[in-house]
Structure 1
Amino acid sequence: MAATDLRVGGIASMSSCDWPGELVATFFCQGCSWDCPYCHNQSLRPATGKAETQIPWDDLVAFLKQRGRLLDGVVFSGGEPTLQSALPDAMRGVRDLGFKIGLHTAGVKPERLIPLLPLVDWIGFDIKGPFSLYDKITRIPNSAENVKKSLQHLLESGVSHQIRTTVYPPLLDEAALLEMKADLAAFGITDYTLQPYQERPLV
């Protein structure tokens, strides 16, 4: 699909926290197949958002052309951006404008992540918790299996990344965090980021 088909439900015009060390614009892509109870972007969960909140691709391109000298890159966030087939073309279009490409993903669909790996400079990979709790957190059966596959592909790709977890206390207590630490250590991961849950809606 073409970049013009990308469904974007919001934008952060300038961010220093969505990609550590880079000043970026963040495009919030519409749609997520998971149902995490603490999601702070609930409006992005439906595959098709409200017409009045969707931002046409041409408007995003025009914005980037105006802000080009101020930004290092663009982060595609969500929702879960990898669910959209227009994402690869959108990434190529943004790179052609001279920007670095970042991606936020939870590893929902490894088959969608694999072709994106050569297109990105950095990935923020969200680990929801220990793998034994994924079904409870995402409310989707067997969701951890795809995450494990996606994580392995990311590590093998050599793409720069940050592994991070939002700590939502009702679901992640100290025992769960210790179990998650062991899960990640099995992948050779000892460097990861814990970030406190905050009520931070997109709009």
Structure 2
Amino acid sequence: MRKLLLKEEGRLLRVGGYTPFSATEYPGLLSAVVFVQGCPWRCGYCHNTHLQQRTRDNPNAWKGIVTRLERRAGMLDAVVFCGGEATMDPALGEAMAQVRAMGFKIGLETACIYPARLKSVLPLVDWVGFDVKTTFERYADVTGVAGSGGPVHDGVAAILASGVDYECRTTVHPAHLSPAMLVELAQTLSFMGVRNYALQEFRATGCADETLVARAFPGYPQEDVVAEIAPLFDNFSVRRPGQATG
């Protein structure tokens, strides 16, 4: 009986938030965004700390989200699943298949924490935005979880092997990535086969870690570092607060 109950509970996606319309979350398309509860990491610069815990409280029932999406079929192009960490939820694949059957394209934003589950849902996905936070051997410095870099490496490899459209991106803070470490990371990703890469300058807004806020400074990484990294990728951009992507 207990196994049956757990199976029933696992069928419905645990949703922590929902945005009915976004022009930026899925490149070039209009999308709705589903924020899935839960993340095992505690990155200091996280802007979605309210989604880190997986609780029994489900403020946005999945059945209600499905009803809203059914009403918007033909008005939106895509649905993006993010978090938290969307692949933490065992119901993600079923939810994606349900939405895909409505005619929506599927986007996924992930930190590649769970490579096996990521591999299982990639056939349902049209576009992936994935984070690589630092060099794989130094991951615990950012996430607070020992050994977290190994699964990320496997997740990145799975995305690249799948052939799905993607963007790889790194949020850059001087406390976590020195210029030399950032170049090393970029070289590693390029060697793995990453062709689409974006650097995102740290944004203090919404960051609860006052130490990180105090140690950040505008314009990092500097342009000489950016110039060294840019030739490694076919498509490269830098995103800075208050500036257009470039």
Mapped partners of 1:172, 1:19: distance in 2: 27
The answer to whether the 8 A contact 1:24-1:73 is kept is yes
1:48 alignment partner in structure 2: 55
Partner residue of 1:175?
A: 180
**Match for residue 16 of structure 2 among 9, 12, 18:** 9
TM-fit CA distance, 1:190: 4.2
Distance 1:191 1:57, change over 3 A: closer
Find the structure with the greater CA-based Rg.
Answer: 2
Q: Deviations over 1:76-103 (max 9, x none)?
A: 0000010111111100110111101110
How has the CA–CA distance of structure 1 residues 200 and 95 changed in structure 2, closer, same or farther, with 3 Å as cutoff?
farther
Query: Could you tell me which amino acid in structure 1 is paired with residue 47 of structure 2?
Result: H
Preserved contact between residue 111 and residue 152 of structure 2 (Cα < 8 Å): yes
For the residue of structure 2 that corresponds to 1:85, the secondary structure is coil
User: Equivalent residues in 2 for 1:138-153 (5 A)?
Assistant: 138-153=143-158
Which of 80, 83, 92 is residue 78 of structure 1 equivalent to? Answer: 83
Q: TM-score, normalised by structure 1?
A: 0.91
CA deviation profile, 1:109-164 (whole Å, cap 9, x unmatched) = 11111110111111111111222321100111111100111111111111111111
Structure 1 partner of 2:31: 24
Within a 5 Å distance, the mapping from 1:157-196 to structure 2 comes to: 157-196=162-201
Contact 1:4-1:58 at 8 Å conserved across structures: no
Q: Give, in whole Å, the separation in 2 of the partners of 1:139 and 1:81.
A: 19
Partner of residue 95 from structure 2, selected from 83, 90, 98: 90
The 8 Å contact of residues 107 and 113 in structure 1, kept in 2 or not, is answered as yes
The question of 1:37 aligning with 2:44 is answered yes
Unpaired stretches in structure 1, ≥5 consecutive residues: none
Task: With a CA cutoff of 8 Å and minimum separation of 6, indicate the structure with the bigger relative contact order.
Answer: 1
Is the CA contact (8 Å cut-off) linking 2:32 and 2:76 kept in structure 1?
A: yes
Alignment: residue pair count? 199
Distance 2:178 2:35 in 1: 29
Identity %: 43
Structure 2: give runs of 5+ residues left out of the alignment: 1-6, 208-246
Provide the aligned C-alpha RMSD in A: 1.8
- 8 Å CA contact 2:14–2:36 kept in 1: the answer is yes
